Amino acid sequence: MLSAFFIFTISLIAFFCSVFGIGYIKHFYKKYNIGVLGFFYNLLIGSMILVVTASNGIFFLIAWEIMSISSYFLVVYDRNDKNNIKAGFLYLIMTYIGASFIIFAFLLIYKYTNSFDFAVIKSNMALIPYSVKNIIFIFGIIGFGTKAGIIPFHIWLPAAHPAAPSHVSALMSGVMIKTGIYMLIRITLDILQPIPVWWGMIIIIIGSVSTLFGVLYALTEHDIKKLLAYHSIENIGIILLGLGSAMVFYSLNMASLALLSLTASFFHILNHAVFKSLLFLSAGSAINEVHTKNIEEYGGLIKYMPETAMFFLIGSMAISALPPFNGFFSEWLTFQSLFQGIAQLHSYSQMVFLLAAGSLAFAGGLTLACFVKAFGVIFLARPRSEEVTRAKESNLYMRVGMGALALLSILFGLLSANITIFLEKIGKGFSIFSNTFSSVSVSSHQVLKINNSFSSVSSPVIFIAIIITISLVVWIIKYFVNKNQKITISKTWDCGTALSPRMEITATGFARSIILIFKGILKPSIQHDIEYHDAESRYLPKSRVVTLGVGNIYNYYFYQPINKIINGLSLRVKNIQGGNINIYISYIFIALIISLFLIL
């Protein structure tokens, strides 16, 4: 049932992204071969389905490799942009680093079980020593976590997702990175059983860090697709909070709470796939008309693309966890699982759950601020470039793709009670719960309470949501779509000066105050460039430019030291290259002797 759930999620998002893509790829016709895009796009979809249905380690690795290669060619598809080539190269490097750790993990498993078949491995798990299981788990976190985009292995994600065509970005961010989550769930709650408590704690800590730092770096971004990519890191962190809680609860024989947490994780996997794909498609619709990803050059786009604005607004409210949209219910369920951990655990475990709940709450507020910035700067106020004034609404295919996902963002929220009951059944499909819950019994008091809460809130929420949705649609149609209405324009009283785009708050200005609050973490650099009319008018500057830069602390504290060590070792190893063929033959001979000795 876990595989079926992921197949459903992949198929759902792929379908609407493909509908959007029919209208979106038209602007590529004159530059590139569309057949190449179609080939790798469909190969990516097929390989993702193979990944989540593989029952053998070798078959899985082949499907994983196809998925990685096909997505690489999609990232570098727009090859005239050098930044896209760099992004693809970085993605390829990180993909192969992750794949190396996955291969090492499977080889360790094979050494003790003599099989790559998942069912055989699971039945022979007792043959693997505890210390080796821990190594396999760590390798799994690095390998699958790199694909999922957890911090600090996420550096490829903010570069690769903006480089790909927008419907591909939606597919990669919505479902491809979830294949890493699928395998983390598979190896921890299915294959490597039983698991220690500290495994779950590690997952919760990683989830908390990814949640918080993902949204902080999203706030600093003015590239709309990079902003959305960082929010994917944040939401992967939220998913890991549910998964880690499930692992901890199961290790402590709290099966009902484990099922509650796992249901929360499943629900957010589904919800994030929907609203994040919607946001990427909406951003792609805007980029297709304005021809830039820099949101500072937008402004007032709601007047020219009202339907795209409405779809982006729905996605923004969903990712900000505002009711009655779907993001609210899965985050609320995650909160419930964390609160249960705070209430029922003790010592350091309780502290970890407390910090995780604080991280999730903090990220929720920052996410709302980030999308107030994104929607306001892109769609409201006055145009800040000529391209905006020439924009027009996207074609029917693109609007259908966005509209369907927007509708699902509402429906999955309104039908949350029914969906959680279904997702709960997926959790029961794991063998670890088979002895606790029968196929016909109520799963747990806690989960039943959650479902009852959803059910009790559904009726008034449905009514309110319908009223809000209808009002929103009528408002959009009345003020922006109806071309026949008479509009009277007059000057706004503002002390006698003419209104201009320079009076608008910019994305930099909006984010600056929040960034400065976290300057201890983000390490911002601020540069002021002021131009005066003449030397005597120093109090009346002609122009003022503020440049706000934010350093990547994971680069400074993690990747740069590693890079320095590797470069140093490379220079030392270079000394063995003497140019003498006899020396090279002796190296081979020594390596052969050592290998034979290890085998014997």
Instruction: Please tell me the predicted confidence (pLDDT) of residue 132.
Output: 93
Task: Give tens-digit pLDDT for 66-94.
Answer: 999 999 999 999 888 888 999 999 999 99
Kindly state the tokens that stand for 68. Answer: 């990685």
Backbone angles phi, psi at 473, to 5 degrees: -65, -45
CB count in 10 Å sphere of residue 506:
18
Residue 551: pLDDT above 60? Answer: yes
For residue 36, what are the contacts with CB-CB under 8 A and spacing of at least 6? 73, 77
Backbone angles phi, psi at 377, to 5 degrees: -70, -35
Residue 104 and residue 140: Cα distance in Å, rounded?
9
Q: Which residues pair with 526 in a beta bridge?
A: 548
Q: How confident is residue 490, by pLDDT bands cut at 50, 70 and 90? A: low
Kindly state the tokens that stand for 147. Answer: 């694909």
Residue 359 and residue 353: Cα distance in Å, rounded?
10
Helix ranges restricted to H, 380-517: 386-389, 396-414, 416-428, 445-476, 507-517
* Mean pLDDT value across the chain: 85
Backbone angles phi, psi at 120, to 5 degrees: -65, -40
Q: How confident is residue 178, by pLDDT bands cut at 50, 70 and 90? A: very high
Q: Which residue did the predictor score with more confidence, 406 or 454? A: 406
Q: Kind and range of the H or E element at 532? A: strand 524-532
Q: How confident is residue 417, by pLDDT bands cut at 50, 70 and 90? A: confident
Kindly state the tokens that stand for 262. Answer: 């796992």
Q: Which residue did the predictor score with more confidence, 486 or 289? A: 289
- pLDDT, mean of residues 228-235: 94
Kindly state the tokens that stand for 560. Answer: 């740069």
Task: Give tens-digit pLDDT for 493-519.
Answer: 656 666 677 777 777 777 777 777 777
Instruction: Please tell me the predicted confidence (pLDDT) of residue 26.
Output: 81
Residue 558: pLDDT above 90? Answer: no
* Residue 223 DSSP class: B
Residue 556: pLDDT above 80? Answer: no
Q: HEC states along 114-144?
A: CCCEHHHHHHCHHHCCHHHHHHHHHHHHHHH
Residue 107: pLDDT above 80? Answer: yes
Residue 567 and residue 452: Cα distance in Å, rounded?
59
Residue 523: pLDDT above 80? Answer: no
Task: Give tens-digit pLDDT for 358-387.
Answer: 999 999 999 999 999 999 999 988 888 889
Residue 353 and residue 84: Cα distance in Å, rounded?
39
Instruction: Please tell me the predicted confidence (pLDDT) of residue 137.
Output: 95
Helices vs. strands in the chain: H and E counts, helices first:
24, 2
Task: Give tens-digit pLDDT for 460-476.
Answer: 555 565 566 556 555 65
Residue 444: pLDDT above 50? Answer: no
Q: Under a CB-based contact definition with an 8 Å cutoff, are residues 135 and 101 in contact?
A: no
Cα of first residue to Cα of last residue in the chain, in angstroms, is 44
Name the amino acid, one letter, at 1: M
Q: Which residues pair with 258 in a beta bridge?
A: none
Task: Give tens-digit pLDDT for 9-62.
Answer: 999 999 999 999 999 988 776 778 889 999 999 999 999 999 999 999 999 999
- pLDDT, mean of residues 114-126: 92
Q: Under a CB-based contact definition with an 8 Å cutoff, are residues 247 and 189 in contact?
A: yes
pTM of the model: 0.87
Backbone angles phi, psi at 528, to 5 degrees: -105, 125
Instruction: Please tell me the predicted confidence (pLDDT) of residue 537.
Output: 59
Instruction: Give 3-state DSSP helix, strand, coil % of the chain, rounded to 5.
Output: 75, 5, 20
Q: How far is CA 516 from the centre of its chain?
A: 25
Q: How confident is residue 161, by pLDDT bands cut at 50, 70 and 90? A: confident
Length, in residues, of the chain: 600
Instruction: Please tell me the predicted confidence (pLDDT) of residue 535.
Output: 59
Q: How confident is residue 305, by pLDDT bands cut at 50, 70 and 90? A: very high
